[in-house]
Chain A
Amino acid sequence: MGHDLNLRVWRGDASGGDFVSYVVPVEEGEVVLDAIHRLQAEQAPDLAVRWNCKAGKCGSCSAEINGKPRLMCMTRLSTFDPAETITVTPMRTFPVIRDLVTDVSFNFEKAREVPAFAPAGSNSGGTFRMAQLDVERGQEFRKCIECFLCQNTCHVIRDHEENKPAFAGPRFFIRYAELDMHPLDTLDRRQMAQESEGLGYCNITKCCTEVCPEGIHITDNGIIPLKERVVDTKYDPVFLGLRIGRRKDRRVVGPAGGSGPSPIKRPGGVAVGTRPPAPAAVPAVVQVPPAARVADTNVLERPAAVPAREPVSAVETASAKPVDKLKTALPAVGATAGIGFLAWALRRARSARK
C-alpha cells in the first residue's frame, strides 16, 4: 500500500544549506533511496545523491537517516511509521560537496598508507596453499563495501577534524587486522598501525561495529585482536598463534604512499582558477513545483553565516549537543568518548524504537 511520505532533506553545499521538506508518494516495499530517486525524477532534478547497486553491495549511498548512519538502499520505509517525517542528511564526518554527497577522499588517502600484501613467493601455476579456516578471518574483513559509515560514526574524527591526520579509522584498522592475519604475508604493520595510523586513539566504544551494514565485527574480531598484538609484539593470542606461525619472520614496515602529490586527483588539481564560470543565468525552470513542496525554506537562499555542519547536528536532540561543543586535545579523547558513546547510545535507543 502506497502513501505520501513526508521527507526532509538537507540541501546545500560547502557554503551552507538547510532542510527542505517534500511530500513524496511511495509504494509498498520501497526503501529510502527509492523515495529520494522519485523526488529527483519528479521534483528536484538537481538533488545530489550517490548510489550504484541499490542492493547494499557497493557502499555508495551512505547517509544519516533520522540521525542514524545507514545505507539508503537498505533502509526500508516500512520500518518507519507512515505518518512520520523522515529526515535525510549527508554523512557528517566528511565535508559536504552538495546535498547528500560528501567528499570522502579522506578514506582514499588513508588507503594509500597501507603497505600492500607482500607474499613470500610467486603464485604462478597456483602454488599457494591456505586452509579455509585460515582465510575465513581475513574474509570477514574483506566483506567491507567501503561505505565509510564506520568512519563517519567514530567519535575520534566525528566533529574532530584535527584528529584526522593522525587517525586512519575503523575501516582501515580491519584492513591492518586482515593483513596481519593473512597466513602468507611477510610484513609486520603493527607498530605503524599504532603509531602512524592512530590505533591507540580507539577506545573500543564499538559504535563502528553498530553501524556496519555488512555486520563485520570490527571491534571484537579486528581492532581488539590487533591491539592485543600491538601491546606485546611477542605475545600471540592463542587462537591466532595456533594457526599463523612465523610471526618473527615478518619485516617491520612504516606507512606506504610516499610524499609526492597524491595520485587521487581532485577537480582543479592542475589548473586551479582556469575553470570556466558556471553559466550566468540559471534557466527559469529552476523552481521546484510549489504544489509538490511544502516550502519551509528556499534552497536557493542559503544562510551564508550557517556553517555546513550546523544543520546536520540539528537532526539530533540536545543529548548530542555537548559533544559538539567539546573540542578536546588528542590525549583526552578517551574522556570525550565516554560522552560521545552515551550520546550515541541515547540516539540509538530513540531510533531503535521500531
Chain B
Amino acid sequence: MERSREDGPEPPPLPPEEPAAEQRGRAAAMEDCLLKKIEISVSEAEKRTGRNAVNMQETYTAYLIETRAVESQTEGQCSPVDSLWRRYSEFELLRNYLLVTFPHIVVPPLPEKRAEFVWHKLSADNMDPDFVERRRIGLENFLLRVASHPILCQDKIFYSFLTQEGGWKEMVNETGFQLKQSHVKVKNPDKRFTELKHYSDELQSVISHLLRVRARVADRLYGVYKVHGNYGRVFSEWSAIEKEMGDGLQSAGHHMDVYSSSIDDILEEEEHYADQLKEYLFYAEALRAVCRKHELMQYDLEMAAQDLTSKKQQCEELATGTVRTFSLKGMTSKLFGQETPEQREAKIKVLEEQIHEGEEQLKSKNLEGRDFVKTAWADIERFKEQKNRDLKEALISYAVMQISMCKKGIQVWTNAKECFSKM
C-alpha cells in the first residue's frame, strides 16, 4: 500500500492563474463561434401523434428549429431561412452525444422533461401549452448556449442537428458513442475535483430546495391575492343598500377585482425566474459529469500504476529469489520445485518488457490526465464566469419583478383609498 502511494500518480498541478491576455484571447475565440455565422431559433412547437419503436400510438411535441446564415446579410440581402423539426428525445440524444464526446466540458443542460417544482395552479401536464412554451424557450436557450460555446460549437454532429433533418440519428449512432454510467472509487482523488463535486451536490440541493419553497411561496401569495377578490363582490353587494357610501364602495370593489387578478401575470412572470434557476439546477449535474469523467481517468491511471508496481515487484522477486508476499506463484514454486535459471531469465525478460510498456502507458495516461485537467478546468472557469453573470442577471430581474409587484400594489391600494375617502 505504501509503495503504491509512492509510485502512484500525483494529481497534475493546477493550470496557473490565467493571465488577462489569455482571457481576452478566449473572448476573441468566442467571436468566431457558430452563433456569429448563423442565427438559431426554436420558433414553434407542434403537437404530433405517431407510432413509436414498439408500434404504440404516442403523442409528442415537435419543435421547429430555424437557422439563417448571418454573413450574406452584410452583402445587403437576406439569406433564406432553413428550418427543420426535432423532438425532445432528439435533443436528449444530442446532449448525451456531447457529454460523451466532450467529457471535459460542462455541457449546457436541457430544460426539464416534466414540469417540476410547480405551484398548484400550473399544470404538470407535458402537453400543457404554457409548459410547451416554456420548454420551447428552454430548448432555444440550450441551442444558443451550445452554439456560443468555443469548443462545442465546432462539432459536426451539432451542426447537422441544426441543418440536416433526415439521417441525423444514424449519423450519431455511427459515432458509436456510449453513455457509461459507472461509479469507481479512486485512491488519490484530486482535491479540486472532489471540491467541485461537493459544490455541485450542494448547489443541486440548495437550488432544488429554493425552487420547492418558491413554488409554495407562489401558492400562498396567490391565495392572499385571490381572497381579496371576494371583497370586490361583497363591496358591490353592500353598495346596493347604501346611499352616500354606495358609489365609493362599488368602485373600491372594482379595484379589489383588479388587485385579485393582477397576481396571474405576476406569477406567470416569476415562472421565468424559476426556469433560470432550473437551468443551473441541471448544470450542477453537468458539472458532476465532468468530475465523474475525471475520476474515471484517475482510476485508469491508478490501475495502470498498480499493475506496474506489481510487475516491478515480481521482477525483483525473480531476480533476488525472495518472496516478499504470499502468492500463488510462491506456493507453486515451493510445491513443484525451483524453475531453471533459463526459465527465470526468460520470465524476467518478458516482465521487463511489460514494465517498459507499462511505464510508457503510464506516462501517456499521465499526460492525458494532465491535458484533461487543463481543458476541463479552463471550461469550468468559463462556466463559473457564465454562472455568476447569469445568476446575477436573474436575481436583478427577480428584484425588478418584485419592485413592479410592489408598485402595482401601491397603485391599486391608492386607487381604492381614493374611493374609500369619497364615502
The reply to whether chain A is a binding partner of chain B is no
